[in-house]
Structure 1
Amino acid sequence: MKIIYSSHIGKFLDILKVSSVCIWTLIAFSCDFLDVVPDNVQTIEHAFSNSTEAEKYLFSCYSRLPSNASENGNVGFFGADEAWLPEDLDERVVNKDAWSIAKGYQNINRPYHSAWNSDRSANGYFIGLRLCNTFLENIQNESIVRDLELDRRSRWIGEALFLKAYYHYLLLRMYGPIPLIDKNIPVYASPEGVRVKRVPVDECVDYIAKLLDQAYEKLPASISRPTTELGRVTKTIALAAKAKLYLLAASPLFNGNSDYSNFRNKDGELLVNTEYDATKWERAVIAIRAAIDAAEEDGAKLFYFENTSQISMTDESITKMSIRNAICDPWNKEIVWGNSNSRADRIQQICMAALRDDYSYDAYFAQMAAPLKMVEKFYTKNGVPITEDKYLAQNYIQYETLRTATQDESINIQPNEQTARLHFDREPRFYADLAFDRSAWLMYDIPSKSDKEPYWVKCRLGELGAGVIQGRYSATGYFVKKLVNWESTFTQSSQRKVYPWPEIRLADLYLMYAEALNEWKNVPDDDVYYYIDEVRKRAGLKGVVESWTDYSTNPSKPTTKDGMREIIQRERCIELAFEGHRFWDLRRWKTANSELNQPIEGWDISQKEPRAYYQKRTLYMQEFIAPRDYLWPIPEKDLRVNTDLVQNPGWQ
């Protein structure tokens, strides 16, 4: 099986592979993951003996970035309610760590996806911090690595400062108040010296922002050598990370959250400020605006697909390809930060359905299944929720009702075939992101060379798309098309076009800005509408005000802060669907306790006839316990080692 990688990933990834192997030889562990520096002096001296070796160590610092393109590394894929897996899942393909969080199995003895101690599919961010600190301690000393020019030294320091800030941010997002690892604790420290305590959230935010500001001054404005350096951080990426930090700090989880009124260190210090502070939204607005300006100045723009293929496409298909390729087209202009250390390879297999009978069983798994609740989130073709559309809402009351597709609907649904009413008259993102029984799936290798005769998904009992191998099928009847590069193939000689994971893209920043502006202002204005409307325009929809005025049963909804908040949150859910953002958004908005206490539902995939197949069935009843489940538990054994640490609320 051949895998095609983008040529831009090149040397950077090769060095990362070597560097990752070296990490464990560079780190000496004691009983606590927070307490020591690497003490193998000969190894450290070799690592900083010249600029070539020092650069390898820098790439080791990068190696702890989250594996967000990985089905196991991105907790957002299966940790919330965006996607579900088969109960007879073969864990050799996808393990159940993140999914166990979605099913309410998180625990304090050995937490799932524990970045605190690099366990159960999680990268160890404290390990990353130790690597960054060791790198900075050596590279900031100009008597070390004597062959390193000043400009490169300055840039490397900026990169390490950024990574140090970002690992702190990732820990903050997961655990709330965290210890700040400004310097590595030496091996000769006293027992008291290694018992670090947690720092209040506001202080954590200020510390991370300061590091990002320091990094910004030293980072390049853009990548000048794209063949070897794409994925390394720039000034724009530092600004975008700061924007995400301030948005998190302004959001309800950490801004005026009364649930944490008794969340204190053992000395009585309050760890989350429970007083709402509106100025945090203003700070977020300024930071996000700076990130957008820098990104656009560097050439970033929303991705629009240009059809240079031999396949004939309608305008609607081109719109859908714009949506899909904003993710899958390597290094396109919308990607503000592509993570070269995490490449979308196996996740394509896990999303892919059987479209041809010559597909290899080892090339596709079809396991990433969208629940019905996510299907319902997408708008109608009029750009409003299915329950609000004054022309179409009645059609969706009994959306299991069958309808036969016409020839005019062939770019979305197979003509003369029956499928659920829920699948008709939906927005382009619905058809771009999802596939379902009798839906179209456009790929580069379609024999017809026309979008009017694409591949058709057929997944009722006994059909090709239903799967024949245990645990390799869609549990709900829906497939995630969005993450599959349309140029990949899945036959015996399959060639997957692998792309770097889009860690931050411009559409995300636009929606962040609309959210922060809406929260900061008393009522939404043209700036709020503009940035959400730009995203909707690329998706083939009219602007918010026009859509709600013309089509919604609640036309005044966009004119109020509360109404726009609901619209913006739904827009993020749709635009960023299946990328892992929803998991974190539901937490920072404090809406997870309502969204994740609902049933996971799908179609009755065990049926052959359409009327039997299109019956709702409950796969699982989720349970989210608030406020406990908003933050990760610190592993119990680490609390016993460091008695100055306190556990997160609800996990005691």
Structure 2
Amino acid sequence: MQAMKFNKISLGFLMIFSCGLLGLTSCKKYLDIVPDNVATIDNAFTLRNEAEKFLFTCYSYLPKDGNPLFNAGYMSGDEVWTSLDEREFISYGWHIARGGQNAAQPFLDAWNGFYGGGGPGDNYGLFKAIRNCNIFITNIEDRSKVPDLSLNERQRWLAEAKVLKAYYNFYLIRKYGPIPIIDKNLEISAPESQVRVKRAPFDECVNYVSNLIDEALPDLPNIITDRSTELGRITKPIALAIKAKLLLTAASPLFNGNPDYSGFKDKDGVALFNTVYDEGKWKKAADAAKAAIDAATTAGFKLYQFPGTTFKLSDTTLRQLTIKGAVTERFNQNLEHVWANPNSRTGDLQLYAMPRLTADVVVGSARQQLAPPLKIAEMFYTRNGVPITEDKTLDFSDKYALRKATASERFYIKDGFTTARINFDREPRFYADLGFDGGVWYKYDSPTNSDEGTFYVQAKATDVAGANNFGWYNETGYFIKKVVDWNMTNGKNGATYRDYPWPEIRLADIYLMYAEALNESLAAPNADVYNYVNQIRARAGLGTVEASWSAYSTNPTKYTTKDGMRSIIQQERMIELAFEGSRYWDVLRWKRATELFNQPITGWSIYQGTTADYYRVRTIFSQSFIAPRDYLSPIRTYDLTVNPNLVQNPGW
């Protein structure tokens, strides 16, 4: 009877806030356990085994960030482009990037789970996730429920559910700004006035999420000891990293004293943003990031280093395998993955990124659809570790001119191959992250069993990786090498991709969060700011910030000022975390979208077959980012109709 009542109110906004008995459907795979259909909540909390299935249901709502079609940050900005054919590749994020977002049927609607907002299936919204977390917490807090559950395990499960609930709230906050806070589910008989929940002010939302994480911390493990079945479950370093990301977001210009939101109020006139800048928020963010670093270090996390191989490889290639492996190495061998999500795999991501390297590769088994624009290629440093616009020893004034590679460059560019000047004299991350016409692409099945005379990309129109297959081609002439595991093999019968769980948070990300927040909280950068940036640069084969700018930059004292170091840290983040879905959210919170997302998307003339014709820059699309509207996602118009107490985000 109760299940019938739930069905009657399951349409629209009311479904989000009612707590009627939940008919659990089979959720997405998590730790190889698929919950059974459960008729009532009471059955779900009779025995430990059933309650654990409900906990895994709470995990199952984690966004599928390992797939670029469902990672809200992957293609919604300017970092990755694709072709208009959209052959077996419908990216709602890319529709947002092209100005298609709308309030009637929002793309990547995490509020309700529609149009890619809940992953492969609709109606998988994060308020539904929060509701399930609330159900779990309420029942596990009742010690008369699940009698065969030990006290220690009960406390740990409660802590996990609280952090998951905090993360879902943070995800919504980052996307929508102020949201309704649903700390407890409403009874099915709750009056209409209670069901129509209002959005809470932004700072209140942040404090609520931060407090949830603080409540959970004492009962979370530092590390996962049962690595065969529990990898990916919440630990103390994960919880602290989420808190650091939350507070960094709250301290950033979009949300900290933004005058654009001065008139943004609810229906009762309550201001939803505090438009007075608070430098203390940066101090809180820095402290949170440092706590996350300390917890991760105690738990044994460190920056990834490629362990080596029996193949004879140059130091140049080994460096690239280290840079790539920080993302692609599986987390049971990768101590940089503070949080990797086994519920989000990367097979499709690699398929979409991989170019055809030989004619033997079956068309469609390497689809080469993910295409970074030319400006992303230009973003990476020179080999001296400074921007191409600042390097006083390397001339990039004619960056699109043609140049022939020499034998000394053979581990980066095919010896004797002619390509654009922009592809020469770049930092190791450029070559580890990007494939391009003439660029070497070493992987496990190299025909020479080494990086001498190995694979390289041939991307002109008539070449194997050229624009000669409907929909399965690269729109800009740059390919994403970073996300394709080096163990990938291809042949006449297809391709084999070694899957890996998506790294939600890497230690390098936390290092950069700390450096950024600390720099903003000080009058000028100190040794700690430099140290955490320099550790990442050292892994990438670059000199320190201090040495590189002093020796090679036309602005040699840039790193000594707060503003200058801010610019360096932001570029370092965009390089180090490239193609991981981070750039979009960073550009928004830095309030730089009107600068970066209003630049044209450009690439090479991919339909041309000769060198001279191919290396002509063409404009693919002119982006238009409208501020302040596009900084926050719209709430679906239907939800505003069902709940008149909700207010829409500015501009929508």
Please report the TM-score for the alignment, with normalisation by the length of structure 2.
0.94
Q: Is the 8 A contact 1:300 1:335 kept in 2?
A: yes
Per-residue deviation, 1:27: 11
Structure 1 counterpart of 2:420: 420
Q: Is the 8 A contact 1:27 1:38 kept in 2?
A: no
Q: Does 1:60 align with 2:57?
A: yes
| Aligned positions of 1:369-380 closer than 5 A | 369-380=371-382
Structure 1 counterpart of 2:452: 452
Structure 2 counterpart of 1:463: 463
* SS of corresponding position for 1:419: strand
Q: Is the 8 A contact 2:12 2:639 kept in 1?
A: no
**Distance in 2, Cα, partners of 1:473 & 1:63:** 33
* SS of corresponding position for 1:623: coil
User: Partner letter of residue 112 of structure 2?
Assistant: N
Q: Is the 8 A contact 1:26 1:40 kept in 2?
A: no
Q: Does 1:351 align with 2:358?
A: no
User: Partner letter of residue 537 of structure 1?
Assistant: A
User: Partner letter of residue 68 of structure 1?
Assistant: D
Structure 2 counterpart of 1:589: 590
Per-residue deviation, 1:413: 0.5
Sort the Cα spacing of 1:27 and 1:534 in 2 relative to 1 into closer, same or farther, 3 A.
Answer: farther
Deviation per CA, 1:242-294: give whole Å up to 9, x if none: 11111011111111100000011111111111000011111111110000000
Structure 2 counterpart of 1:39: 21
* SS of corresponding position for 2:342: strand
Per-residue deviation, 1:40: 5.4
Deviation per CA, 1:465-486: give whole Å up to 9, x if none: 1153211011000100000000
**Distance in 2, Cα, partners of 1:484 & 1:346:** 10
Per-residue deviation, 1:296: 0.7
Structure 1 counterpart of 2:10: 29
**Distance in 1, Cα, partners of 2:529 & 2:17:** 46
* SS of corresponding position for 1:435: strand
Per-residue deviation, 1:456: 1.1
Per-residue deviation, 1:28: 7.0
Moved over 3 A (4+): 25-28
| Aligned positions of 1:139-158 closer than 5 A | 139-158=140-159
* SS of corresponding position for 1:213: helix
User: Partner letter of residue 607 of structure 1?
Assistant: Q
Structure 1 counterpart of 2:266: 265
Q: Is the 8 A contact 1:178 1:198 kept in 2?
A: yes
Q: Is the 8 A contact 2:448 2:454 kept in 1?
A: yes
* SS of corresponding position for 1:122: coil
Per-residue deviation, 1:313: 1.3
**Distance in 2, Cα, partners of 1:415 & 1:241:** 45
Q: Does 1:360 align with 2:359?
A: no
Q: Does 1:433 align with 2:430?
A: no
Per-residue deviation, 1:561: 0.5
Q: Is the 8 A contact 2:467 2:606 kept in 1?
A: no
Structure 2 counterpart of 1:7: none
Per-residue deviation, 1:375: 0.4
Structure 1 counterpart of 2:634: 633
Per-residue deviation, 1:618: 0.3
Match of 1:49 among 46, 49, 52: 46
Q: Does 1:574 align with 2:575?
A: yes
Structure 2 counterpart of 1:525: 526
Structure 2 counterpart of 1:121: 116
Q: Is the 8 A contact 2:461 2:468 kept in 1?
A: no
Structure 2 counterpart of 1:397: 397
User: Partner letter of residue 380 of structure 1?
Assistant: T
**Distance in 1, Cα, partners of 2:42 & 2:99:** 46
**Distance in 2, Cα, partners of 1:434 & 1:152:** 45
Q: Percent identity?
A: 49
Unaligned runs of 5+ in 1: 1-21
**Distance in 2, Cα, partners of 1:490 & 1:449:** 15
Per-residue deviation, 1:361: 2.1
**Distance in 2, Cα, partners of 1:410 & 1:166:** 45
Structure 2 counterpart of 1:16: none
More off after superposition, 484-493 vs 617-626: 484-493
User: Partner letter of residue 364 of structure 2?
Assistant: D
| Aligned positions of 1:273-312 closer than 5 A | 273-308=274-309, 310-312=310-312
**Distance in 1, Cα, partners of 2:375 & 2:304:** 28
**Distance in 2, Cα, partners of 1:251 & 1:494:** 43
Sort the Cα spacing of 1:27 and 1:303 in 2 relative to 1 into closer, same or farther, 3 A.
Answer: farther
| Aligned positions of 1:225-244 closer than 5 A | 225-244=226-245
Q: Is the 8 A contact 1:596 1:624 kept in 2?
A: yes
**Distance in 2, Cα, partners of 1:570 & 1:260:** 27
Deviation per CA, 1:581-626: give whole Å up to 9, x if none: 0010011100011100000000000111111100000000000000
Unaligned runs of 5+ in 2: 24-38, 119-124
**Distance in 2, Cα, partners of 1:312 & 1:638:** 60
Structure 1 counterpart of 2:614: 613
Deviation per CA, 1:423-463: give whole Å up to 9, x if none: 00000000000000011001000010121222011011111
Q: Does 1:483 align with 2:483?
A: yes
Structure 1 counterpart of 2:32: none
Q: Is the 8 A contact 2:352 2:368 kept in 1?
A: yes
Structure 1 counterpart of 2:92: 97
**Distance in 2, Cα, partners of 1:58 & 1:476:** 43
Per-residue deviation, 1:187: 1.5
Deviation per CA, 1:468-512: give whole Å up to 9, x if none: 321101100010000000002233253211000000001000111
Sort the Cα spacing of 1:415 and 1:27 in 2 relative to 1 into closer, same or farther, 3 A.
Answer: farther
Deviation per CA, 1:114-145: give whole Å up to 9, x if none: 10111111121101001100111111111111
**Distance in 2, Cα, partners of 1:526 & 1:218:** 34
Per-residue deviation, 1:35: 2.5
User: Partner letter of residue 198 of structure 1?
Assistant: R
Q: Is the 8 A contact 2:361 2:494 kept in 1?
A: no
Deviation per CA, 1:100-127: give whole Å up to 9, x if none: 1101111110011010111111121101
Q: Is the 8 A contact 1:47 1:57 kept in 2?
A: yes
Per-residue deviation, 1:362: 3.3
**Distance in 1, Cα, partners of 2:363 & 2:494:** 12
Structure 2 counterpart of 1:386: 388
User: Partner letter of residue 526 of structure 1?
Assistant: A
Sort the Cα spacing of 1:489 and 1:111 in 2 relative to 1 into closer, same or farther, 3 A.
Answer: same
**Distance in 2, Cα, partners of 1:632 & 1:266:** 19
Per-residue deviation, 1:369: 0.4
Q: Is the 8 A contact 1:27 1:39 kept in 2?
A: no
**Distance in 2, Cα, partners of 1:628 & 1:258:** 13
More off after superposition, 328-337 vs 70-79: 70-79
User: Partner letter of residue 29 of structure 1?
Assistant: S
* SS of corresponding position for 2:503: strand
Structure 2 counterpart of 1:11: none
User: Partner letter of residue 369 of structure 2?
Assistant: Q
How many residues are treated as equivalent by the alignment? 623
Deviation per CA, 1:325-378: give whole Å up to 9, x if none: 000000101110011111111100000000122212232110000100100000
* SS of corresponding position for 1:342: coil
* SS of corresponding position for 2:500: strand
Q: Is the 8 A contact 2:512 2:532 kept in 1?
A: yes
**Distance in 1, Cα, partners of 2:453 & 2:292:** 42
Structure 1 counterpart of 2:79: 82
Sort the Cα spacing of 1:31 and 1:89 in 2 relative to 1 into closer, same or farther, 3 A.
Answer: closer
More off after superposition, 382-391 vs 452-461: 452-461
Structure 2 counterpart of 1:108: 103
* SS of corresponding position for 2:649: coil
Q: Is the 8 A contact 1:382 1:427 kept in 2?
A: yes
User: Partner letter of residue 357 of structure 1?
Assistant: A
Q: Does 1:506 align with 2:507?
A: yes
User: Partner letter of residue 73 of structure 1?
Assistant: F
Q: Is the 8 A contact 2:629 2:651 kept in 1?
A: yes
Q: Is the 8 A contact 2:433 2:480 kept in 1?
A: yes
**Distance in 2, Cα, partners of 1:27 & 1:523:** 59
Deviation per CA, 1:156-197: give whole Å up to 9, x if none: 101111111111100000000000010112211111111100
Per-residue deviation, 1:88: 1.5
**Distance in 1, Cα, partners of 2:8 & 2:261:** 36
